[in-house]
Amino acid sequence: MLLVAPPVLGFLIGLLAGGDAGNWGRVRVRWAWFIIAAVVVRIVTDFTPLSSVGAVRYLYMLFLLALLGWTLLQLGTLPGIWLVSAGSALNLIVILSNAGHMPVSSMSGAPGVGGGLYVAADSTTRLSWLGDWIGLPGWLGGAASPGDVVIGLGIGVVAFLITRRSGSPTKLDATKTGIGSYPP
């Protein structure tokens, strides 16, 4: 849900701020298919029986590295994508520091974890503050890491900025040219 709610909210807030849904048709993203691949990898690593297969965690680490590279390629195209890069880097750091596992704190209230990508955090966990310790309602995933939050924020910011591209005047823009001159 952290991957669905932010772009929807960013889009809606962008519209409320005077944006235009048509701006999305003008966005040119390199390797747009990668966005679909990102969603598929996330679903496989979180919600399927394959998530308990040990090799999947290495696939996920490679994916995070690829996602980081992809977002860096988009820096000139997608405003705000640097937040997604930062969040991906945080997740990659904690997973690499814990032998390919994302530690989940028992304080998060997330259901029990075992095997695969997610493991219970304990006294041997490295960089536990970067793991999944932020408690969320079950329908949002149960737990999130600071990297997940930054990725979600970044996706929302990108959606907002695309929707609210320059050229979409707001009532605040009217004060630049004087009272009564809006719309331009």
Other beta carbons within 10 Å of 9: 15
The stretch 91-103 carries a mean pLDDT of: 89
Lowest mean pLDDT among 13-17, 76-80, 133-137: 133-137
Is 90 exceeded by the pLDDT of residue 62? no
Other beta carbons within 10 Å of 129: 11
> pTM for this one?
0.79
Confidence of residue 181 (pLDDT cuts 50, 70, 90): very low
| pLDDT tens sequence across 130-178 | 998 888 777 666 788 999 999 999 999 999 999 998 654 544 444 444 4
DSSP output for 96-162: HHTTT-EEE-GGG-PPP--STTEEE--TT-SSGGGSB-EE--GGGTSEE-HHHHHHHHHHHHHHHHH
- Which letter does DSSP use for residue 31 in this model? T
- Which letter does DSSP use for residue 50 in this model? G
List the domain boundaries for the chain: 5-20+52-165
Residue 10 belongs to what H/E stretch?
helix 5-16
Q: Are residues 127 and 99 in contact, defined by beta-carbon separation less than 8 angstroms? A: no
